[in-house]
Amino acid sequence: MVQEFISRVTGKIGRDSWLVNRLRPAYESALDLMYLGRGVPYSLNGVQYRIAPQARIAFKHEFDPETAACLKSQLAADDIIFDIGAQVGVYTLQLAHWSRPSGKIIAFEPNPDACHQLQRHIRMNGLTERVEVVPMAVGGKSGSLEFFTEGISGAGRLERPNAELSGKARSFTVNVTTLDEFCEQRGIWPTWIKLDIEGYEFKALAAAEHLIKRSPETRWVVELHPHLWPLTDTTKESALALLNSLGIQWSPLSSHPDPWSSASLVLLQHRITH
């Protein structure tokens, strides 16, 4: 009830107002004390989880409902799932729930602030045995690159800042791996991959050719970011040509009429030939 009251008040004042921003840290600390550091109960797509008060801004009660319904209906208990661009774990928690009791999740997140909250959520929800956090970015080649972000924002990206961050982004160097390299080194071949890396999605796909050929049954849930593709020299034409060369077909997961013109989610899977 306290949270509902505060939510109504901040909604009227403005969630990004000066006053709310000044009071937010104290309120979050009070919630941490109230729940003894075990996380605030939070209903996400109809399932109850525990989340850190400091990460509430990343959550919505109904989060990508069409995609959630697809994954809920198709994930199996023995799936190996990569959550790439895990941020604070909105999808990580759900993927673990949908693949219970034995599905394995590997969550990639290079932003240390977001990674800290991701690890808290894993502990709060009793998932340490099934979820592994890899504090790296996934890209088109391995090595190290500058990463630009602000706090736990999900708009962080490699090489050049996202305009969404309005000049507030800080930069630091992160380790980068490719999916082919990671899978070869670890001997792990995922059945599902969720990929949300702010315009780098087709760079990552191009560097996953061996994975795609070795494990054609792997399915991908990819967030497309057409407005960010110019930063990686990606176009709709080059993206579709890459999918065609890899033998991959796509289908929309959101209700947007043209997923190639605005941020939206698509399902990628190996093309069925007869």
Closest CA to 85 of 165, 176, 214, 207: 176
CATH code assigned at 74: 3.40.50.150
Whether 201 is in a domain gets the answer yes
Whether 17 is in a domain gets the answer no
* Dihedrals phi, psi of 177, to nearest 5 degrees: -125, 165
Q: For 32-71, what is the HEC assignment? A: HHHCCCCCEEEEECCEEEEECHHHHHHCCCCCCHHHHHHH
Whether 16 is in a domain gets the answer no
Task: Return the structure tokens found at 124.
Answer: 């709060």
Sign of CA dihedral 249, 253, 255, 259: negative
Output the average pLDDT for the chain.
90
Cα torsion at 112, 182, 138, 80 (round to 10°)? -80
Average the pLDDT over 105-113 and give the result.
97
Q: List, for residues 84-95, the tens digit of each pLDDT value.
A: 999 999 999 999
Helices vs. strands in the chain: H and E counts, helices first: 9, 13
Q: In the chain, how many domains are there?
A: 1
pLDDT at 41 over 80: yes
Average the pLDDT over 30-35 and give the result.
75
Domain span including residue 228: 63-270
DSSP 122: H
pLDDT at 7 over 60: no
Whether 36 is in a domain gets the answer no
Mapping DSSP to helix (H, G, I), strand (E, B) and coil, where does residue 151 land? coil
Closest CA to 81 of 61, 98, 60: 98
Q: How far apart are CA 26 and CA 50, in angstroms?
A: 19
- Among 15-19, 137-141, 209-213, the range scoring the smallest mean pLDDT is 15-19
Whether 111 is in a domain gets the answer yes
Whether 264 is in a domain gets the answer yes
